[in-house]
Amino acid sequence: MNSQSPPNPDIAHHAPSDLSRRRVLGWMAAAGVSPLLAACGSGNGVDINVAVTNPPETGWALDFRGLSSTLTAGHPDPTGVLRSAHWTEAVNRAATGAAARSFNANVVEAGKLFGLLGDAHTTLTSGLDRFTTIPARFSWINSAVYLTSATAALSAHLGARLTAIDGMPVAAVMDRVALARPFYNVAGKQAGAPRFMSLPEFLMLIGVATTAGSATYSLELPNGTQQSLRLTAEPLPQTLVPLVSGANVPLWQSVSGVNYWTRVIENNTVAYFRYIVCADDPGRPIAGVMDELAAALNKMATPRLIIDVRANQGGDSSVLSNAMQAASNKMTASPQIAVLLDRNTFSSGFRAVYDIRRGQASARTFGQPSSQAPTSPSEVVTRQLTSSGLSYQMSTRMFTVPLGSDPNIYTPDSLIEPTIEDVKAGRDPVLEQAIAWLQSQ
């Protein structure tokens, strides 16, 4: 934009004196023109008919522009969000306001851009570790959010239903979280949103909590009593007491720290394979585990197999399919298969369900809807924001897993929702119904 100087006898008719030069510099400063441009005089006068440009964007503003460019160039963008005026406006708003925000506020602003895209594979993979956490954690169970782990001082409240945070009902809180984190479907929101309810600063930045360091959590105790707790964020690590421990821990959660494990249950009539992470373990290769399963199934008069992919968040989808294909050649008869999944079954964990059904059409699925959409972007690459240094991942291809009739959500053949009473007692109705079905075949 050109800026024309106002009439001024000091500069219009004769060479500037020191006084007139100071007047010029003062006017230029008031007009927002850099004093460095005073050297751009013409002849004996001072020409201030100069172009004024905005300084180059830096910091988070640069990150927001760069993120938009990278996504536009490489993301499959099935719904056209990246080509919409709404996206352009959101990026401009994020960039122009970046300098005035705190680092954590810009982390949340970046999350809002990912939330607009609606691809649960395309999201920040770092940055949330900067937010302090209250000494309690929440999970979606059946149809509500419950307090499922806390410090010993709060253990009496374990199993309580969360009804509001700083007066905002939980359903509205979940909707706010979904604006700043991408989920494919309602199952993804139910599984993922409660994890952010322990972060007061995050909640403040999305308009839920009133302060960054604490929030008031309204709870309904098992006896129906209503209670509100003002909980303050504390540094990590925190020693938390789980809702379920000891003998009440169900079979599927009884072993951790490994990618998979197996057991023969129900008086050696059912083989159980727990698949936690879609990755081979060099210390115990999955091919050998599948051979063990094949040997156990060959001993059964009626071979029955349960494959449990609950809470499997993905990895390499070829690991299980290749191992099962090799093991099938060693089985004397094809087993009847039940597959268990839940809201936390995601990405390649969900692909495993499809691979099993593709190999055996008679396999039946049990549990809750998956947070993975059957048709969605995937095959991620990792990128880094230039200025903030935060990492994010981005989908590069569209995939369709032909399970069910809804491209956005897969509901298992037998929909089973454990209650909070089931969880506290260590009951696993999903496994129980799968066993009953297998034994009826």
Domain 246-372+410-440: top CATH class: alpha beta
pLDDT class of 358 with cuts at 50, 70, 90: confident
Q: What pLDDT is attached to residue 360?
A: 87
Of the listed ranges 53-57, 89-93, 137-141, the least confidently predicted one is 53-57
Query: What's this model's pTM, rounded to 2 decimal places?
Result: 0.85
What is the domain partition of the chain in residue ranges? 1-53, 131-242, 246-372+410-440
Q: What pLDDT is attached to residue 335?
A: 95
pLDDT in tens, 397-426: 999 989 888 999 999 999 999 999 999 999
Res 387 pLDDT > 70: yes
Percent of the chain with pLDDT over 90: 82
Instruction: Residue 67: name the closest of 37, 101, 94, 102 by CA.
Output: 94
Instruction: Residue 106: name the closest of 40, 171, 202, 1 by CA.
Output: 202
Res 9 pLDDT > 50: no
Of the listed ranges 22-36, 118-132, 296-310, the least confidently predicted one is 22-36
Got the DSSP string for 344-400?
A: T--THHHHHHHHHHHH-TT-EEEES--SS-SEEEEEEEEEE-TTT--EEEEEEEEEE
Mean pLDDT of 329-341: 94
**Under CATH, which number does the domain 131-242 receive?**
2.30.42.10
Res 39 pLDDT > 80: no
pLDDT class of 436 with cuts at 50, 70, 90: very high
Q: What pLDDT is attached to residue 40?
A: 41
Q: Please provide the average confidence, as pLDDT, over all residues in the chain.
A: 89
Instruction: Residue 5: name the closest of 21, 27, 35 by CA.
Output: 27
Task: Please enumerate in sequence order all residues whose Cβ is within 8 A of that of 175, keeping only pairs 6 or more positions apart, or say none.
Answer: none
Which single residue is written with the structure tokens 């160039």?
73
pLDDT class of 361 with cuts at 50, 70, 90: confident
Of the listed ranges 59-73, 85-99, 320-334, 366-380, the least confidently predicted one is 320-334
Q: What pLDDT is attached to residue 245?
A: 94
**Per-residue H/E/C for the chain:** CECCCCCCHHHHCCCCCHHHHHHHHHHHHHCCCCHHHHHCCECCECCCCCECCCCCCCHHHHHHHHHHHHHHHHCCCCCCHHHCHHHHHHHHHHHHCHHHCCHHHHHHHHHHHHHHHCCCCCEECCCHHHCCECCEEEEEECCEEEEEEECHHHHHHCCCEEEEECCEEHHHHHHHHHHHCCCCCHHHHHHHHHHHCCCHHHHHHCCCCCCCCEEEEEEECCCCCEEEEEEECECCCCCCEECCCHHHCCHHHCCCCCCEEEEEECCCCEEEEEECCECCCCCCCHHHHHHHHHHHHHCCCCCEEEEECCCCCCECCHHHHHHHHHHHCCCCCCCEEEEEECCCCCCHHHHHHHHHHHHCCCCEEEECCCCCCCEEEEEEEEEECCCCCCEEEEEEEEEECCCCCCCCCCCCCEECCCCHHHHHHCCCHHHHHHHHHHHHC
Contact 240, 150 (CB under 8 A): yes
Res 19 pLDDT > 70: no
Q: Is the peptide bond between 237 and the residue preceding it cis, with omega within 30 degrees of 0?
A: yes
Res 437 pLDDT > 90: yes
pLDDT in tens, 183-225: 999 999 999 999 999 999 999 999 999 999 999 999 999 899 9
Which DSSP letter does residue 32 get?
T
333-344 CB burial, b ≥16 within 10 A, e <16 = eebbbbbbbbbb
Res 15 pLDDT > 60: no
pLDDT class of 352 with cuts at 50, 70, 90: very high
pLDDT in tens, 44-83: 444 444 444 555 678 999 999 999 999 999 999 999 999 9
How many degrees, rounded to 5, is the angle at CA 318 between CA 114 and CA 187?
40
Q: What pLDDT is attached to residue 55?
A: 54
